[in-house]
Amino acid sequence: MILCLLAVSAFGQPRNVIISGRVVDEGGKEISNAMVTLYVPPNKGAFELILPGTRSLPDGGFYLDSGRISPSEQISLFIEEPVPEGFWSPFNGPPFGELSRLQIFRGLPITLKPKQTLVNLGEIQPGIRYAKIVIDLTRAWPERDKPTGQEVSSTKLTIRDQLSHVVYDGRIPDAGLDVTTSLLRLALPKGKWSIELSFARESKIVRSPRRTINIRKLSCLNIALTVQRPATSCH
């Protein structure tokens, strides 16, 4: 009985696990600088959640030390490609919480075997990849409500997912707004997203028409909010 208890205890001992792999696109080309994060459930009584994370190397490879974890813990790996240069994404880091209701935000579950300390995932595609969305803010409202330059810089953005849940509601950061051209440059994953803009004018809120876009390809799209016309390609 004592030997049996000792064996079970050894199998269940917390240990460090090295997780490795190579991040690639659908064509097998390496993706460098992808964000790789391991979700490990927090310990009871923990004040903050610090998650192991790293970036993929120029060849797409990554090596991640899990820290001390139990083999019975439910862990998941999140891989997010870099946000395209000149664009901004409201999804900063692993989308835990309510966003996990969407398939692309659920991560890759990893099941550890007893005594396993190395996990090689081989070539793996990121779960989160971005299309580029460009919106001309000067054309996002009817002519009578067209914002001034100062109003453009204080524009608020609301994004809803396909279930109509708000996933972002706040000011557009400088990284996503070109004030010289009044262009909003968004990076969004595949799926259906509803976009609405608003700004304050005197004592009222001026809202743009709400536009739902269905992103099927990871391309660049010009989106018009004032009319329901098809999106056009951009660069």
**CB distance 107 to 101 below 8 Å:** no
Domain-ending residue, one of 81, 103, 124: 124
Which token pair is 203? Answer: 């004592």
- Write down the pLDDT at residue 64: 93
Which token pair is 116? Answer: 């396993």
* Residue 8 forms part of a structural domain: no
Domain count, the chain: 2
Q: Is 141 helix (H, G, I), strand (E, B) or coil?
A: coil
Domain CATH number, residue 213: 2.60.40
- Write down the pLDDT at residue 7: 42
Domain CATH number, residue 103: 2.60.40.10
Q: Same domain, yes or no, for 150 and 105?
A: no
**CB distance 19 to 110 below 8 Å:** yes
- Containing domain of residue 66, as a range? 14-124
Q: Same domain, yes or no, for 120 and 150?
A: no
Domain-ending residue, one of 88, 105, 124: 124
- State how far the Cα of 82 lies from the Cα of 88, in Å rounded to an integer: 10
Q: Same domain, yes or no, for 135 and 59?
A: no
State the DSSP code for 209.
P
State the first-to-last Cα distance of the chain, in angstroms, to the nearest integer.
69
Q: Same domain, yes or no, for 135 and 118?
A: no
Would you write out the chain's pLDDT as a tens digit for each of its 235 residues? Answer: 444 434 444 446 788 899 999 999 989 999 999 999 998 876 665 455 667 889 999 999 999 998 888 877 788 899 999 999 999 998 866 655 666 677 777 788 998 888 889 999 999 999 889 999 998 888 888 888 888 878 778 889 999 988 888 889 999 888 898 878 888 999 999 889 999 999 888 888 988 888 888 888 888 888 877 655 556 777 6
For 39, phi then psi, to 5°, come to -90, 120
Domain-ending residue, one of 124, 143, 158: 124
Count of C-beta atoms within a 10 Å radius of residue 167: 19
Q: Same domain, yes or no, for 186 and 117?
A: no
Q: Identify the CA nearest to 205 among candidates 129, 137, 154.
A: 154
